[in-house]
Chain A
Amino acid sequence: MNSSELIALTPIIILSGTAIVVMLSIAIQRDFLLTSSIAAGGIFITLLALYSAWGKSPTQATLLMRIDAYASFYMMLLLAAGLAVLGFCYDYFKNREGENEELLLLLLTALLGGSVLVSSSHFASFFIGLEMLSISLFVLISYSLNQATSLEAAIKYLVLSGVSSAFLLLGIALIYAQCGELYFSSIGRYFTSHQEMNAMVLSGTILIITGLSFKLSLIPFHLWTPDVYEGAPAPITAFIATVSKGAVFVLLLRYFISTTSYTHTPLLTVLSVIAGLSILGGNMLALLQNNVKRLLAYSSIAHIGYLLVAFIAGSSVAPQLAVEAVTFYLVAYFITTIGAFGVVSILSTPKTEADDISCYRGLFWERPWLAAIFTLMLLSLAGIPLTAGFIGKFYIFTSAAEGRLWGLLLAIIIGSGLGLFYYLRIIVAMSMNVDTTEIKPIKLSQDWFSTATLTVLTMLLVWLGIYPNFLINVIQSISHGFVE
């Protein structure tokens, strides 16, 4: 490893260093605020390091990692999401009895896993990153130890993660058996030199897709999702919905483009079926929910389905457009999902999650700003203009129309119609008139960090919805650098 490779890896090294410092500081002095500040500072320094390295030429740091604009951008996105979640976590856990400090350590290791995942160019780093992310999540999900639902959720996630890892490993093994390579680009070279259909490679890739679909909670691999979303503490749910899913999706896209797997047309059929099922199924199941967290869980299934449509379009349109569409949609999805769960987390405590739709009744008149923010987030999820979600949906439409995926477009249109219904249900509940005499559990403490984070997220949401040029330019530079 030479010095330029080491420099390229600086952000990951800083992040690992922060995790160690946090661990040591917990050993010396237990203080939630101090530990949170160290963790936040570490993430912030990593972001600065990434920012200062922006625009440098792509570096292949050993065979395992490829630090290019694509990886740096997504690392920044994950870290920013981590920072936002940290803000919510602080307010959520600060009044809880017991040891909260390890939470931050786990958040950092999960972020580290995600960062490795988005920059990996080799099956080994891919698997290490994924496991690092998942193992941190098991503990994070069950962090409110006295809650039975949290424990149940964690065990569900543990078992299904194990199963999905097994699928993934078998898939990797099959591909390795055929190509003798674990490095993505070498696999790509093998695929291009062996054009004919190969059952081994095909089943290997399908197994990898299966394994990743568990993580992305695509139908029919979604069964864990609503329970885990419901059981996990609200800020952690935001983390699972964004960082974990986002990192896996980013990896999937990189794998497909650098190994030229798009040329295997049967895979596209499999993916199209999964996408269609996820969009329709996710939206339909969400219709029946009275629990906001479960509702958002099903809606996230549908959103990953929309993303997958842009992903599939990458086979027939210029890959740049697919990368652009996926990236913009992911950014919008991150902002919106963290914002929505952030509102849930502000209203919740570790003892009582504000997840029933009745908790939101009359919120418009009690806490107008919070309700307005939640409304904006929900409208963005529904893809209404003025919000980033609309531009994201426009991107998906454009890439899907360019790729002539008419069936999937129809699914998106039907899905959006259904989606609107359940998002509006929450908005209706918030705008209902309630008697002021009705007693409501009121949280007394002030949530400064959460409020600040939500404000930033809302401003980003509206800014990107009205004037998306800045982000589009950044994304274009990534996609052009990524796909030569």
Chain B
Amino acid sequence: MILLALIGVLVLGGFAAWFSERWSRLLPRWVAISTLVAEIPPLILQYMASGHTILPAGLPSAWFADVYGAWIPRFGIGFHLAMDGLSFLLVALTVLLGFMAISSSWTEIKQRQGFFFFNLLTCLAGTVGVFLAVDLFLFFFFWELMIIPMYFLISIWGHEQRTHAAIKFVIFTQVSSLLLLLGIVVLVLIHHNDSGDYSFDYFDLLNTICDPDVAFWLMLGFFIAFTVKLPAVPFHTWLPDAHTQAPTGGSVILAGVMLKTGAYGLLRFVIPLFPEAAHQFAPIAMTLGAISILYAAMMAYAQSDLKRLIAYTSISHMGFILLGIFSWNFIALQGSVITLLAHGISASALFMIAGALQERLHTREMSRMGGLWSSLPRLAALALFFAVASLGLPGLGNFIGEFLVLQGAFSVNGLLTSVAALVLILAPVYALNMIQKTFYGPSQQDSSLSDINRYESVSLALLVLIATWLGLSPQTVLNVSAPALKQAMHYAVGMER
């Protein structure tokens, strides 16, 4: 029931935020904040209860909780939610970044706040649903549902090229998700032919035996849908546009949470459902991952638009995740999970900083910045912190993630991993270049800029703490995700070599 509450609270809060605009223009943001505060107790309760809850028979103990209700019995579709360590971490990340998105929209969004926070919260609800659904139809339902509010966020409150970016975003994700739907339907039909029952349930479909050729095509359908969202080269072109044009809150959600749904899909569905096909495909997927890492790092260096630069660094980090997941050994998977969390935090923080700069300077062009350290010392220090976090400085979360991924992937494919490791040179180049162009050098702006306010400082300081904690004590998080990942590896025996 708590799982249902996690989604329900966000949806209700979204509607409440929308309608509260009638009474006061400033009320929606308070409603939004309180909605997210209301998310915390169920999440903690659920975590405390793990290990004590009674699970349905046959469900491995890696799962914390399970909710089931019949939905469309005609096709064996159930409203089936379940949570394990992996989904717990990602839901927690979603809630945390929800706060960041709201705090960065606090003063930025001036028009139609009610509808803005409605979209923000329903987008979060869709994402939480994606992380919790273990019925493939329900998963797809949420998968599609989170796109539409994000579309509105970009197309109504975005920057100058917003319409173009929003439509590109929807079409990329929508067309690829139809491939996913097709894959799901065919998998269910195969299961139906074998067993005589329709079922969209993850746990039923895990044991479906497909013809290797069919399995390969199905796996490809799933893979494309998830790598478009991830994104990885060559499906990444929507991302720089969408991130650049979205309002800061939208960018935070996109980079921090929505990209993670792609990685989650690969980890949860693609490999456990089609282990043999994934094994066969792994070299290609890992190559795509390595290409993404290097290509996006080089593209990031070439950008003059600050948000575009950060967007490309996201693609580069997501390449690590792709590499780690398709290496499919325990260390690399743990590395991917840490990268998911650490990147969520560092990328969101960088987008918040870029948003704060744009709010003050009305530009994202780095050539028109420069020398801002003197006028915005606090913001500059925080930017430096997250830039070095993003380049993988030891002691911070991103380093742990990248290190584990590289270590795990090396034993699988040494050559690719070595090539991918070249990014350790490229990342400092783009990250420090960004800091150099924006905050150092001669000042180009008058010094009347106001440094960040209390809200911004508090939320960014919180992210600093978490990033440091992830870097210094990653074992806490690793312990949470370990049973879930072991279970996933158990499901996908055929993937191991």
Residues on A facing B (Cβ under 8 Å):
365, 379, 382, 384-386, 390, 394, 397-398, 401-402, 409, 412-414, 416-417, 420-421, 424-425, 427-428, 431, 433, 467-469, 472-473, 476
A472 touching B179, Cβ below 8 Å? no
Q: Which residues of A contact B163 (CB under 8 A)?
A: 428
Interface: B74 (CB within 8 A): yes
A431 to B155, CA, bound (A): 8
Q: Are A385 and B145 in contact (CB under 8 A)?
A: yes
B144 contacts which chain A residues (CB < 8 A)? Answer: 384-385, 390
Which residue of chain B lies nearest to A469 when distances are taken between CB atoms in the complex?
B72
Contacts between the two chains (Cβ within 8 Å), count: 71
B419 at the interface (CB under 8 A from A): no
**Which of A365, A420, A425, A467 has its CB near the most chain B CB atoms (within 10 A)?**
A420
Complex: chain A residue closest to B152, CB-CB: A431
* Distance (whole angstroms) from the CB of A190 to the closest CB of chain B: 34
Residues from chain A with a CB closer than 8 A to the CB of B181 are 394, 397
* Complex CA distance for A473 and B178, rounded to whole angstroms: 26
Do the beta carbons of A417 and B174 come within 8 Å of each other? yes
Q: How far is the CB of A40 from chain B (nearest CB, A)?
A: 34
Contact A428 B155 (CB under 8 A): yes
A469 contacts B185, C-beta separation under 8 Å: no
Distance, CA A420 to CA B179, complexed state (A): 15
5 A-B pairs within 8 Å (CB atoms) are namely A385-B140, A417-B175, A428-B155, A469-B72, A469-B73
B149 CB, nearest partner CB in chain A, Å: 11
Contact B189 A402 (CB under 8 A): yes
Check if A469 sits within 8 Å of B174, measured CB to CB. no
CA distance A379 to B137 in the complex (A): 18
Task: Say yes or no: B145 contacts A468, CB within 8 Å.
Answer: no
Interface code B169-207, partner A: CB below 8 Å = 1, 0 otherwise? 011001100110110011001000000000000000000
Q: A-side binding surface: helix, strand, loop or mixed?
A: helix
What distance in Å separates the Cβ of B73 from its nearest Cβ neighbour in chain A?
A: 7
**B residues 181-239 touching A (CB-CB < 8 Å):** 181-182, 185-186, 189
Q: A379 and B174: CB pair below 8 A?
A: no
State A292–B170 Cα separation when bound (angstroms): 21
A401's partner among B72, B148, B156, B185 (CB-CB below 8 A) is B185
State how many angstroms separate the Cβ of A415 from the closest Cβ of chain B: 10
Q: Give Cα A433–Cα B174 distance, bound, in whole angstroms.
A: 26
Cα separation A425 to B163 with both chains bound (whole Å):
9
* Interface pair A469/B74, CB less than 8 Å apart: yes
A416 with B178: in contact, given A379-B148, A421-B167, A424-B170 (CB under 8 Å)?
yes
Kindly identify which residue among B74, B137, B166, B170 contacts A472, using a CB–CB cutoff of 8 Å: B74
Q: Report the minimal beta-carbon distance from A232 to chain B, rounded to whole angstroms.
A: 30
Q: A431 vs B182: C-alpha distance in the bound complex, in angstroms?
A: 32
In the complex, what's the smallest C-beta–C-beta distance from B206 to chain A, in angstroms? 20
In Å, the complex CA distance between A195 and B493 comes to 51
Q: Which residue of B lies closest to A433 (CB)?
A: B111
Interface residues of B in 261-295 (CB under 8 A from A): none
Whether A385 lies near B141 (C-beta < 8 A) is yes
Residue from B74, B137, B148, B179 within 8 A of A384 (CB atoms)? B148
B68 adjacent to chain A (CB < 8 Å): no
Max count, chain B CB within 10 A of own CB: residue among A401, A416, A417: A401
Asked if residues B185 and A428 are in contact (CB atoms below 8 Å), the reply is no
In the A-B complex, list the 3 residue pairs whose CB atoms are closest, starting with the nearest: A417-B175, A413-B178, A385-B144
Q: Is the CB of B145 within 8 A of A386?
A: yes
**Chain A residues within 8 Å of B186, by CB:** 401
